[in-house]
Structure 1
Amino acid sequence: MTFSKINIQQACIQKQTELIESFQNRVDSMQADVLEANQSPSQTEDRIGGKVELFNAVGKELDFAIREMDFLETLQPEKQCTIVEPGALVITDKLTLYICVSIEQIEVDGHTIFGISTRAPIYAAMRGLEKGQSFKFNETEYEIKDIN
């Protein structure tokens, strides 16, 4: 199997961009709603507080997504990795993982790849390992077939 880390990186950036845009649209929509609620005397304090709380929570998610994008953009897909580390493409006997940010599942060049964060428990189980080594996660044994 041939993988292009550059294509994988671009797909991850595209997916993260879509996530950021989605959060930004929600924040923009909610901001108008919160401002309107604050000016309306008919709203109860609880409803206003709930809207503000939700607005703040979505804003925090947006900030987190932006920080994740900043990290994603620091990765160098042209770098050849020999151990499991940020920017590594890890091909196991069961899954193909790109160590970046939590991107879930993406399809690139006909391959299913999961973007995982360095904060993910599965990353902790395999961090620093090399091709040919194995690790166990959630009662499943994985063998690292290749690292790029």
Structure 2
Amino acid sequence: MNKREILDIIKTKISEKIQNFENLIAETRASSNDTKSSMGDKYETGREMLQQEINNLQRQLNETLNQQSIIQKINAEPSSKVQNGALVKTNKGLFYIAASLGEIVSEGQKIMTVSVESPLVKAMFGKEIEETFTINDIHQTIENIW
């Protein structure tokens, strides 16, 4: 498995998310400026709702920027145990430990990207090939680590 390619896919996906959030925030701010009217309370309620939306988008943007910061620190070197930046194959699937971005595809393989904070990673963290762990009454065996 090519960890460099996987890392590049993740970096691209995070950059796209950041750009998307920045665009949404800019568009929402622009529409906030367009809502001026003489309606009084309705105007203020509309502006407040737009401000709440901007705050929500800003929070999501900050989370994505934090993910980007974590990703920047990961290298593509091989791992011998489950740790941040490891690609782990269990009998249930393939997991890349970095940031939680959902499923990606590399070399025709579906890989689930998971955060080091996830319960799954906490259950397998520090383990090595052929060790087992259980989460939600599901037993998994680590078959390979890259």
- Asked if Structure 1 and Structure 2 have the same fold, meaning a TM-score greater than 0.5 normalized by the shorter chain, the answer is yes
Counterpart Cα distance in 1 of 2:86 and 2:38: 55
- How many angstroms apart in 2 are the aligned matches of 1:142 and 1:25? 41
Match among 91, 96, 102 for residue 104 of structure 1:
102
Tell whether 2:40 aligns with 1:10. no
Q: 1:41 to 1:63 in 2, by over 3 A?
A: farther
Runs (5+) with no aligned partner, structure 1: none
Cα distance, 1:31 vs structure 2: 1.1
* 1:49 equivalent in structure 2: 48
What is the identity, as a one-letter code, of the residue corresponding to 1:89? Answer: L
Alignment of 1:5-44 (within 5 A): 5-37=3-35, 39-42=36-39, 43-44=42-43
Identify the match of residue 123 of structure 1 among 116, 121, 124: 121
Question: How many Å separate the matches in 1 of 2:123 and 2:46?
Answer: 44
Instruction: Name the TM-score, length of structure 2 as normaliser.
Output: 0.92
Mapped partners of 2:136, 2:45: distance in 1: 42
Displacement over 4 Å in runs of 4+: none
Q: Structure 1 residues 16-25 or 92-101, which shifts more?
A: 16-25
Greater Cα shift, 9-18 or 28-37: 28-37
CA displacement 1:70-89 (0-9 Å, x = unmatched): 21111001x22111110111
Q: How does 1:80-95 map to 2 (within 5 A)?
A: 80-95=78-93
Q: What is the CA RMSD across the aligned residues, in angstroms?
A: 1.3
Aligned-pair distance for 1:24? 1.4
Structure 2: gaps (5+ residues): none
Q: CA deviation at 1:133?
A: 0.6
Check conservation: 2:37, 2:43, Cα contact below 8 A. Answer: no
> For 1:80 and 1:108, how far apart are their aligned partners in 2?
17
Query: Identity across aligned pairs (percent)?
Result: 24
**Corresponding pairs, count:** 144
